[in-house]
Amino acid sequence: MDISQFDYELSDDLIAQKPCYPRDNSRLLNCINETPEDLKFKNLTKILNPGDVLVINNTKVIPSRLSGKKDMVNIQVTLHLKVKRNFWRAFIKPGRKCKIGEYIIFKNNLKAKLIEKFVEGDVLLEFNKGDQSLLNEVHHQGEMPLPPYIKSEIKSDNDKKNYQTIFADQDGAVAAPTAGLHFTDNLINKLKTKGVLFAPITLHVGAGTFLPVKVNNILDHKMHKEWGSVSEITSNIINKAIVNNKRIISVGTTSLRILETIAKINNGKIKPWSGFTDLFIIPGFKFEIVNLLITNFHLPKSTLLMLVSAFHGQENIFKKYQYAIEQKYRFFSYGDCCIFSKNNNN
């Protein structure tokens, strides 16, 4: 399966540089039926039914981009995966300036030793502080790791608030689960009043979500790992809804990945779970749990575009994306949203 099958043209003026305000005033492309429908995200109350379950990701983005020095050379470090208390995998720039065994020095006596370089392009760092002490320094020193397509001159002091969902309460992500950015307290209250249920999961989104697929045959791509968990309470909400023939709506590709990971492990069932997932979803994947997917518009040639193509159908996705481009929808992290139905072939 060639990577070129997941490419499309997008002009820069359609790449959102800042979020919509209020958040639920962003546009929503309703793709549940064959003919797309142009809505606002706050119209979600018209689409969902009592008993439907919205599975939301409660991960919280940490300001994981740190500025350090090595022999007077400025080094940018972006943490992306905690290995254990004071060991993190990270991306460093410029990587060629740092050798194994050398130290990167930060503010407040924080430093990190480069332990290993990986073929994936990242490194393993050992910090002289760990767990909450290290996390405190990250919150104090770090910047939000906004995606590279958000221009540096657009970035502001509001990024720590803007690039965070209303559900965020579990530290650990280095990228936002962007489908959740559209929710407001007002919309959540209206959905709950209607009888829509909310079921939180945690999946700490890694910086690998921004990495381009570098192979021509996507079957050769190595998916990055991300840590997640699902509680017994959430498992019970989802399983009860399935028994009662209610719809499971994944808010974002992250929620979908963890649900389908657990279903794959447990023969189509949802059970309490925690661990790492590197599930790579491409066309042909059999979905067990999710009925509808709320998600932003994704980058060309990305693993996320492959995922939504698997869910809604590759031909269907590219028709809807072309429609969205023609209608001037805003794309990517701070952009507009769509809701997709599961392809009948899944």
**What mean pLDDT comes out for the span 191-199?**
98
Helix residue spans in 102-219 (DSSP H): 131-141, 159-162, 185-194
Dig out the tokens for 312 from the structure.
């809604």
Instruction: Give, in order, the Cα–Cα distances in Å from 134 to each of 35, 65, 88.
Output: 50, 13, 11
**What mean pLDDT comes out for the span 96-120?**
94
Percent of the chain with pLDDT over 70: 97
Q: Does residue 244 fall inside a structural domain?
A: yes
Task: Report the C-alpha gap between 123 and 77 in whole angstroms.
Answer: 10
Question: Is the same domain home to 7 and 39?
Answer: yes
Question: Is the same domain home to 334 and 276?
Answer: yes
Determine the pLDDT at residue 225: 86
Question: Is the same domain home to 171 and 212?
Answer: yes
pLDDT digits (tens, 9 = 90+) for 157-183: 688 889 999 999 999 999 999 999 999
Q: Does residue 149 fall inside a structural domain?
A: no
Residue 153 has pLDDT above 60, yes or no: no
Question: Is the same domain home to 93 and 174?
Answer: no
Determine the pLDDT at residue 157: 65
**What mean pLDDT comes out for the span 69-79?**
94
Question: Is the same domain home to 9 and 100?
Answer: no
Query: Which amino acid is residue 190, in one-letter code?
Result: K
Q: Does residue 294 fall inside a structural domain?
A: yes
Question: Is the same domain home to 48 and 175?
Answer: yes
Dig out the tokens for 132 from the structure.
């909450």
Structural domains in the chain (count): 2
Task: Report the C-alpha gap between 2 and 11 in whole angstroms.
Answer: 23
Q: Does residue 325 fall inside a structural domain?
A: yes
Question: Is the same domain home to 222 and 112?
Answer: no
Q: Does residue 151 fall inside a structural domain?
A: no
CATH of the domain at 95: 2.40.10.240
Determine the pLDDT at residue 188: 98
The model carries a pTM of 0.93
Dig out the tokens for 224 from the structure.
């990055």
Determine the pLDDT at residue 99: 94
Domain ranges, residue 80: 65-142
Determine the pLDDT at residue 123: 95
Determine the pLDDT at residue 66: 96
pLDDT digits (tens, 9 = 90+) for 258-281: 999 999 999 999 999 999 999 999
Measured in whole angstroms, the distance separating CA 72 from the mean position of its chain's CA atoms is 35
pLDDT digits (tens, 9 = 90+) for 218-263: 999 888 889 999 999 999 999 999 999 999 999 999 999 999 999 9
Determine the pLDDT at residue 274: 97
Question: How does residue 103 score in pLDDT terms, banded at 50, 70 and 90?
Answer: very high
CATH of the domain at 192: 3.40.1780.10
Give the position of tokens 């998916």: 223
Question: Is the same domain home to 272 and 332?
Answer: yes
Question: Is the same domain home to 170 and 309?
Answer: yes
Q: Does residue 152 fall inside a structural domain?
A: no
Residue 55's contacts (CB-CB under 8 Å, 6 or more residues apart) are 199, 200, 201, 234, 238, 248, 249, 250, 251, 255, 259, 290
3-state secondary structure (DSSP) of residue 131: helix
pLDDT digits (tens, 9 = 90+) for 322-344: 999 999 999 999 999 999 999 97
Q: Does residue 132 fall inside a structural domain?
A: yes
Q: What is the DSSP letter of 262?
A: H
Mean pLDDT (the chain) is: 93
Question: Is the same domain home to 50 and 69?
Answer: no
Question: Is the same domain home to 88 and 28?
Answer: no
Q: Does residue 118 fall inside a structural domain?
A: yes
Residue 311's contacts (CB-CB under 8 Å, 6 or more residues apart) are 256, 281, 287, 290, 293, 340, 342, 343, 346
Question: Is the same domain home to 42 and 168?
Answer: yes
